[in-house]
Structure 1
């Protein structure tokens, strides 16, 4: 499709296009949160399997904890952006 056809589609249905964009942000944020939680669980299982002593909490491993905090914040920011775009699309 040409750029003009996309522009005409946006002009005809601006709320639908913005709602689709909000859905994309929501799916991306949710996937990021789920993937981060899964990575945390796998790291904890590796710690338990590798050590004979009690497993350390993930906060003891600072680089991994910082990375997980970043991904959690980014995932929640994507969900908040999706909510804001979806709310805005209902006002058009």
Structure 2
């Protein structure tokens, strides 16, 4: 599709296009949260057999990276909610 055709489609129904954008942000944020949680569970499961007596703690850089991905994922979900809310006001 050309850029002009996309622009004409946006002008015809801006609410639908914004709702599609909100759906994209929702899927991206949800996937990021699920992938981060799964990566965290795998790392924890890998550490448990090595030292069952000690509390399992990830190193600081991994924990910081996980916090960043959690915040970014929740930010994507919040952005999707705001865009979806705005699209209903058009």
TM-score with structure 1 setting the length: 0.91
In structure 2, what is the equivalent of residue 74 of structure 1?
72
Partner of 2:76, secondary structure, is helix
Query: How far 1:49 moved relative to its partner?
Result: 2.6
TM-score with structure 2 setting the length: 0.93
Moved over 2 A (4+): 49-55
Q: Equivalents in 1 of 2:52, 2:15: separation in Å?
A: 57
Q: Would you say the 8 A contact 1:36–1:72 is kept in 2?
A: yes
Partner of 2:31, secondary structure, is helix
Q: Would you say the 8 A contact 1:19–1:85 is kept in 2?
A: yes
Partner of 2:48, secondary structure, is helix
Q: Equivalents in 1 of 2:41, 2:55: separation in Å?
A: 12
Question: How many pairs align?
Answer: 90
In structure 2, what is the equivalent of residue 50 of structure 1?
50
Where do 5+ consecutive residues of structure 2 fail to align? none
Partner of 1:50, secondary structure, is coil
Query: How far 1:55 moved relative to its partner?
Result: 4.2
Q: Equivalents in 1 of 2:64, 2:5: separation in Å?
A: 44
Q: Equivalents in 1 of 2:4, 2:20: separation in Å?
A: 19
Query: How far 1:16 moved relative to its partner?
Result: 0.2
